[in-house]
Amino acid sequence: MKKVKIHQDGRGTIAVVWFIALSLIVISVTMINPRFIWLPIVILMGFMMAWILFFFRVPVRGNIYGKNVVTSVADGQVVIVEKVYEPEYFKCEVMQVSVYMSFFNVHVNYWPIDGENTYYKYHPGKYFLAWMPKASELNEHASLAVRNECGEVFFKQMAGTFARRIVTYDCIGEQVEKATQCGIIKFGSRIDMYLPLTAKINVEVGDEVRACESVIAKL
């Protein structure tokens, strides 16, 4: 049985949610009558306490080997597969593959290929719904790139309406390994992956993908 741990960058949020939930439970039980009024509050707070642990889980994932194999950065649903002009890093036409993470997906992000971390930049911005097309340019996001002898992948950790904190493990110039953590986005969010036009895309809009274990493309 695979072990699941709690992400270290979610522990502060968990502590706050648990403190508020437990406080409301104590107040409800001791100060509210009759029972049918406070019981739903207790149940709701218990659900919130369990959900916040579930949200910040870090499952053990496998790895699909191959220098040219690009795996998903995140869990979620593929919402965009199209040719676009990418102005920040590639500065040319590339293939964009976007994965939307719901409240129930794992929000830990992973490197998509083995190679050198060649780029990192944080962009402050708005908080539009993560699935909206304009979120890619206007929302708060962090941009990263990784390169090896087979090619390179540029991707963005996009904040959504409820995501106000992006954590990125910046290691420019260092060698990174596919399926190891590169960061986490708190709450609803999206990953935009940009690949060369020569890459063979392996997913379609509507596909459900898993970080580390779903092949997005081959370089």
pLDDT tens for each residue of 121-153: 988 866 555 555 555 566 778 899 999 999 999
Q: Are 183 and 170 in contact (CB under 8 A)?
A: no
- What is the Cα–Cα distance from 167 to 154, expressed in whole angstroms? 17
Name the token pair of 46.
């218990």
- Which amino acid, 15? A
CA proximity to 135, closest of 179, 95, 80, 174: 80
pLDDT at 164: 56
- What is the Cα–Cα distance from 1 to 9, expressed in whole angstroms? 24
Name the token pair of 85.
């002009």
Query: Hey, where are the domains in the chain?
Result: 4-59, 69-218
pLDDT tens for each residue of 88-106: 999 999 999 999 988 788 8
Out of 3-7, 17-21, 126-130, 175-179, which region has the weakest mean confidence (pLDDT)?
126-130
Name the pTM for this structure: 0.80
Please report which confidence band the pLDDT of residue 28 belongs to, taking 50, 70 and 90 as the band edges.
Answer: confident
- Which amino acid, 108? V
The rounded mean pLDDT for the chain is 86
Domain 69-218 falls under CATH 3.30.160:
no
Name the one residue in this structure whose structure tokens are 């593929």: 78
- Is 189 among the residues known to form the active site? yes
- What is the Cα–Cα distance from 74 to 211, expressed in whole angstroms? 4
- What is the Cα–Cα distance from 108 to 8, expressed in whole angstroms? 11
Task: Please identify which of the residues 72, 98, 143, 189 carries the catalytic annotation.
Answer: 189
Name the token pair of 211.
């970080």
Helix (H) or strand (E) holding 23: helix 11-31
